[in-house]
Every structure is written in C-alpha cells, then in structure tokens.
Amino acid sequence: MSAGRGALRGGRTALRRARPLPRGLGLLLVLLIWEGAARATAGSFIIAAPSQIVAYAANNAGLLWRALGTTLASAALGFFWGNLAGVLLALLAVLLPRGERLLSTLALLVFCLPLVATGPILRVLYGPGSGPQVTLAALAVYYTTFLPVLVGLRAAPQGWFDLLRSYGRGRMIALREVRLPAALPYLVAGLQIAAPAAFLGAMVGEFTGAERGLGVLTVRALRALDLPATWAIAVIAAGVSMLAFAAVGALGRRLDLAPPEVLMAPPVARGRRVWDAPAQALLALGVTLLIWKGSMELFGVPRFFAKRPEDVWSYLVTGAGAGAQRARLFGALGETLALAGPGYLAGLGLGAGLALLLTLLPRLARVVLPLSIALRSIPIIATGPLIVWAFGRGTAGTITVVAVMIFFPTLIACQHGLARTPRAVLDLFDVYAASPLRRLLGAQLPAMLPAFFASARMAIPAAILAVTTAEWLATGRGIGALMATVASTSDYGMLWSAIALVGLAAVLAHALVAALERAVLARTSAEQLVR
C-alpha cells in the first residue's frame, strides 16, 4: 500500500508541475476517442460507443437498478462468508502446522471446481433462490484471502516469537500479539482482490438459471448480440468493483499499516523424508474422496446427478464405453491445458513486471492502476467473449483472456509485497546511495517473493476459471465447452469426471509451484517456511 500511495503522491506532484489539463477534460478526451473508435469499428461488433451505452442505460434504468441490487446482495453475502472462511482456514493452518498441507490441498480442490460445472449442480441442489449465487461468490473469494493471510501470519520477525517463548507464552498469545497484526496488510490485499471476484461469482451463479440479476441480463445480451447492453452491464460491474476495491484500499490506508521490522529466521533444516510428500498426497486424496462420498450419502443427494467417486471410476475405467469417454475427456483437457499454461505464465509475468516497473516509475501508477482495476473488475463473462471477438477464437484470444484474469491479482499482491520491505533495509541502501534499480533488486524484490509465490498459487485456479469460461462462452472447444455441453444434456458422469480431472491437474500444478516456492524462499524468506 505504501508503494501505491507513493505512486499516487508522485503522480499528483508531477501533474501540478506540468500544469495539468482542467479537471474532467482528460476524461472527455478519452470518451471522444472511445466514441470515435466504436463508430469506426461499428461493423465488427466489438466496441459499443459511450453514447450507445448511455442510451441503453437511460432507457433501461429501472431494469438495471433492480438487477444490480439483486447481484449486489448476493455478492455481499458471498464476500462476507468467503472471506470469513479464508481467514479461519489460514488461522487453522498456522495453529495446526502438521495439517497445513492437507488443509491447503482441500482448499485448493474446492477452489478449483470449475464454475461452469458447479453452477448447474448448485442450482439443482438449492433450487430457486439466491443460494447458488451466494455460494459461488463465497467460493470465488475464500482462497484468494486464505493464501495472503497465511503469508501474512508468518511475516513476523523470529525474535518476537523467541521473546514470547522466553516468557512462557503459547501459540495463542503469539497469534494475537504477533501474527494477527503482521497479517493485517495481507488481509487488506486479499480483500481488495476478492471484491471483484465476489461480484463475478454472484453473476456466474445468476448465469446458471437465476430469474433476475446482472448475470441474467448478460446472458440475454450475449445471446441477442446486443453490444450496447453487454457494454452497459460491463461498465456497471466495473464501476461497482472499482468502488469496492477503492473502499477496501481506503480502509487499509486508515489503518496506517507500516512496513515490518527486519524479518530474520534461521535456515530451514532439510529433515524431510523422501516418502513424506507422497504420503501426504495420498492422505489428501483419501480425505478428499471420503468427504466427497460422505457428503453425498449424508445428505442423500440423488445419484442421478450427484456422482460418487466409484461412479467416476466406472465411467472412465471399468464401465461400458470407458475408453471412448476417456479419450474424449483427455482430448478436451489437452486442448485446455495447452492454452491455460501460456496464459498463466503471461499473466503472472505481466503482473509481477508491472509491479516492479511501477516501483521504478511511480508516476505510471496513475495511469496503469485504474486501467488494471477496470480490466479485472469487468466480469470475465462479459470480457471473455469481447476479447475472443477482438483476438479471434484461436490461441491468441483464449491466452489473452487467461492473462487478463491473472495479471491483476498478481500486480496487487506483488505491490503489497514490495511495500512490505523493512524500512531499516531501505535506509541501509539509502545510506550507500544505491540506485533505485539496485535497491529494487537487492531489497524490494526479495521482500516481494512470498507475495509473488502466493499469487502464483492463486493464479492456478484463476487460469482454469478463465480458460474454461472462454471455452464455454466463446470458443466452443476444450474442457469448458465439454462441461457446458454435457451439463445441458444431463451427462453427469462426464461432468463429474471432468471436474475430478480438472481438480487433479490443478493440484499437480500447485505442487510444482509449491516446490519451486520452497526452494526459492529457503534462500530469501526462511520465516515463511518455519512451522
């Protein structure tokens, strides 16, 4: 947050010196350029002109207000419950360090459930009402809060814990006096990332059979190729998300979150046995299957649409036609992963690169941050088809959708990480008159790494969400399109098999990133590995 404030202060100072344009004139110029671009590309059905958007909003103001109120109510409830669950999970992981891997795996698996698949299932389970919208909004945010808070709970000087132990204090006192204050800035970052995500989750819930809300209007607009309506809904969604983002940021600034003291921890001993990781993976798999089957049996959910683990095994391995079904599923998954991987790396690199660039050139923050927030705030349900229309239904369009979905959380997380560079370390570099680049590489980049790896883990399910949504709504290929098709034809065996396979792929990718994270942080931020 300090870097962001510094960037904004730097931007204001620069504008005063340069005698900026009268207030509002810059916005007017942007709207004129936007209007001209829309008129020039009217035949391509990509951009709606501001005048068309305003006309649609004016003619349908009552409808839009009612829809916005419905979606906001679901998003607010989901935001509350999802963030509460994320914080409680992080606290549990710190208080029970031996169970952290299991908790993290289960949390990841639930977060990786594709919205395109879980939406119809939740609609069947809940029936009419706002239950699916609230649940999907909560599912969309809890993991993006869980990971930053977990990083923050560990971002405290080891000496403070030693001091508490010397007075005979236990884990709960350390949690209250040391870990919770250290986690507060990371909680603010998580809440800022969660604000647009909750709105997106609520809209996706409405997308799967609700009667009212902005998601319902989006479906109608997309099916009718009503460009002004689609853009009007996107602008409203972006405006609401930006307001929520700014409100959380303002709350964080009021808390006056100072950088921490120097974080020092002894190197972590490599005492892990070779079978620890496979054993923990098997334990996580067993618990997952137990919860999956147990919850179905406990609630007596009909087997017709709520498949158990043995049903998926039979569908893919031992049942009639298993070979053909397996080939169809793995073929679709291959198409999806081939696009999700490059998009994931592009979004991650863009987000981290922008955060570093804004540290060196803080004046750019005044331009880059609002654009970034707007791009991420517009729900992917609206931006996905527009991006694919603009870049085509091939590789470039889908990769761009994934990168757009990922880069904003990475940018925000990395900016918060850069701002957590200990003041004493920065002062030391200032004493030696180090250049900004030297200070960035020597002090701020290592401080950013825990946040970067947290965002890299967060980005895995986000990439899956983005690519499956793009396939569902625009490209008609890959596992996203397959899940949408089989959901509409009640082929729940294929649907649950796809969910299980996507979850497994996400867990494997997460394990790869976690291994890389552990290797890097052992050298730069050992306090994050202390259990």
pLDDT value of position 81: 93
CA separation for the pair 3, 181 (Å, rounded) = 19
Q: How is residue 200 written in tokens? A: 């997106």
Element holding 451 (H helix, E strand): helix 445-470
Q: How is residue 378 written in tokens? A: 């517009």
Please say if the pLDDT value at position 41 is more than 90: no
| CA–centroid distance for 259 within its chain | 24
pLDDT value of position 270: 52
Side-chain half-sphere CA neighbours of 94 within 13 A: 29
Rg of the chain, C-alpha, whole Å: 24
pLDDT value of position 143: 84
This prediction has a pTM of 0.71
Residue 88 makes CB contacts below 8 A (sequence gap 6+) with: none
Measured CA angle at 49 (ends 45, 51), to 5 deg: 140
Averaged pLDDT of the chain:
78
Q: Tokens 């960037």 label which residue?
A: 7
Element holding 309 (H helix, E strand): helix 309-313
pLDDT value of position 76: 92
CB 94 within 8 A of CB 150: yes
What are the b/e assignments for 422-433, b being 16+ CB within 10 Å?
beebbeebeeee
Region 422-426 average pLDDT: 78
Angle between helices 2-17 and 365-377 (to 10 degrees): 120
Q: How is residue 143 written in tokens? A: 């993991």
CA separation for the pair 471, 157 (Å, rounded) = 46
CA distances from 28 to 19, 242, 371, 386 (A): 18, 20, 16, 24
CA distances from 441 to 78, 145, 379, 452 (A): 39, 27, 35, 14
pLDDT tens digits for range 55-71: 998 998 899 999 999 99
pLDDT value of position 18: 47
CA separation for the pair 220, 232 (Å, rounded) = 13
Element holding 299 (H helix, E strand): none
pLDDT value of position 15: 43
CA separation for the pair 475, 489 (Å, rounded) = 19
pLDDT value of position 261: 52
Say what the alpha-carbon torsion angle 21, 22, 23, 25 is, to the nearest 10 degrees: -70
Stronger pLDDT, 58 or 128, i.e. the higher one: 58
pLDDT value of position 11: 45
Please say if the pLDDT value at position 39 is more than 70: yes
Stronger pLDDT, 204 or 91, i.e. the higher one: 91
- Choose the most confident range, by mean pLDDT, from 76-90, 297-311, 438-452, 495-509: 76-90
**Residue among 502, 510, 493, 496 nearest 469 (CA):** 502
**Residue among 2, 14, 1 nearest 367 (CA):** 14
CB 192 within 8 A of CB 451: no
Region 233-249 average pLDDT: 83
Stronger pLDDT, 89 or 30, i.e. the higher one: 89
Region 348-353 average pLDDT: 89
Please say if the pLDDT value at position 180 is more than 50: yes
pLDDT value of position 4: 44
CB 348 within 8 A of CB 406: yes
Stronger pLDDT, 473 or 258, i.e. the higher one: 473
Stronger pLDDT, 167 or 81, i.e. the higher one: 81
pLDDT value of position 80: 93
Amino acid symbol at 171: R
Least confident of 24-33, 193-202, 316-325, 480-489: 24-33
CA separation for the pair 26, 151 (Å, rounded) = 40
pLDDT value of position 65: 92
Query: Using 50, 70 and 90 to split pLDDT, how confident is the model at 12?
Result: very low
Region 315-329 average pLDDT: 88
Largest interatomic CA distance in the chain: 75
CB 57 within 8 A of CB 232: yes
CB 488 within 8 A of CB 472: no
CA separation for the pair 424, 416 (Å, rounded) = 17
